[in-house]
Amino acid sequence: MRKNIVAGNWKMNLNRVEGIALVEEVLAKLPTDNNTHIIFAPAFVYLHKVAKMCANTSKVVAAAQDCSSNEKGAFTGEVSASMLASCSARYVVLGHSERRANFTETNALLKTKVAQAFENDLKVIFCCGESLAQRENGDHFDWIKSQISESLFHLSADEFKNIVIAYEPIWAIGTGVTASTDQAQEIHAFIRDLLVEKYGEEAAESTSILYGGSCKPSNAKELFSSQDIDGGLIGGASLKADDFLAITQSF
Ligand code: 13P
């Protein structure tokens, strides 16, 4: 019932030429019977180009990596959700741990970004995840619960249909250390239970929950075979066409 999704978060990597070449190669090699929803999240500056390149391929769309919490105005350097929508983005990634850490994004701020995204018909890939210290202290469940509930639980069940959750343990991001399938599945099941409690079985069952953190071709199949892991939010391995393609075909 829920979508299998693989999203490539390029972060601050690839220039315009490299980004275009990557999308061209992925689209050219994508199997005709591809069943996975694929999302490219490039930098703002060529988001429109990437979105246009995807326009004729079914199940492939573009996402932004962030948006402003403000609608418009004197916010030099910021990019609004309405600008992203006008560049044909379909999703926006919000609450990535790198933004939470480097730009002090709080749960309350992210709530306002979600509102901006929804005002402009963008779907949201909402990131959550704990640090190693939090996991070692056993605080990870409460932490993830607060991230999700404080930024999202004001939404109606209908609005929540436009949310994809990405669980990204900070200790697994860019480190080469992947959460074990059991560790990831445990958190995904926990998140789905939170959604059941808040929105009921049907809404919870139709929400895609992605795993992110050193996901690569060699571990994607095992991760994605878990009951509550519906795909991945991929960093490093999304920068190489063959690796990204292999992950998209790992269901
Ligand atoms: P890596 O796949 O490089 O660990 O990054 C994961 C991530 O942060 C995706 O948003």
- Written as six digits, the tokens of 5 are 């999704």
pLDDT (mean) for 132-153: 97
Mean pLDDT (the chain) is 97
Q: Give the confidence band of 22 by pLDDT, cuts at 50, 70, 90.
A: very high
Is the domain 5-248 a CATH 3.20.20.70 member? Answer: yes
pLDDT (mean) for 26-43: 97
- Tell me what pLDDT residue 161 has: 97
Whether 8 is in the pocket of ligand 1, judged by its Cβ within 6 Å, is: no
Residue with the smallest CA separation from ligand 1 atom 5 is 235
Q: 42 alpha carbon to ligand 1 midpoint, in Å?
A: 13
Q: 74 alpha carbon to ligand 1 midpoint, in Å?
A: 32
Q: 62 alpha carbon to ligand 1 midpoint, in Å?
A: 17
Q: Give the confidence band of 16 by pLDDT, cuts at 50, 70, 90.
A: very high
Whether 170 is in the pocket of ligand 1, judged by its Cβ within 6 Å, is: no
- Tell me what pLDDT residue 53 has: 98
User: Over pLDDT 90: what percentage of the chain?
Assistant: 98
Long-range contacts, stretch 81-88, CB < 8 angstroms, 24+ apart:
81/113, 81/116, 81/117, 81/119, 81/120, 81/122, 82/116, 82/119, 82/120, 84/44, 84/47, 84/120, 84/122, 85/120, 85/121, 85/122, 87/47, 87/48, 87/51, 88/48, 88/51, 88/52, 88/55, 88/62
Q: Which atom of ligand 1 lies closest to the CA of 96? A: 10
Residue 172 reports pLDDT greater than 90: yes
- Tell me what pLDDT residue 1 has: 78
Whether 39 is in the pocket of ligand 1, judged by its Cβ within 6 Å, is: no
Residue with the smallest CA separation from ligand 1 atom 2 is 235
pTM of the model: 0.98
pLDDT (mean) for 159-185: 95
The domain locations on the chain are: 5-248
Whether 235 is in the pocket of ligand 1, judged by its Cβ within 6 Å, is: yes
Q: Hunting for tokens 């995807």 — which residue is that?
A: 54
Write the pLDDT tens digit of every residue in 39-84.
Answer: 999 999 999 999 999 999 999 999 999 999 999 999 999 999 999 9
Whether 9 is in the pocket of ligand 1, judged by its Cβ within 6 Å, is: yes
Give me the active site residues, please. Answer: 96, 168
Q: Which has the minimum average pLDDT: 75-84, 148-157, 168-177?
A: 168-177
Q: Are strands 123-128 and 231-234 parallel, antiparallel or unpaired?
A: unpaired
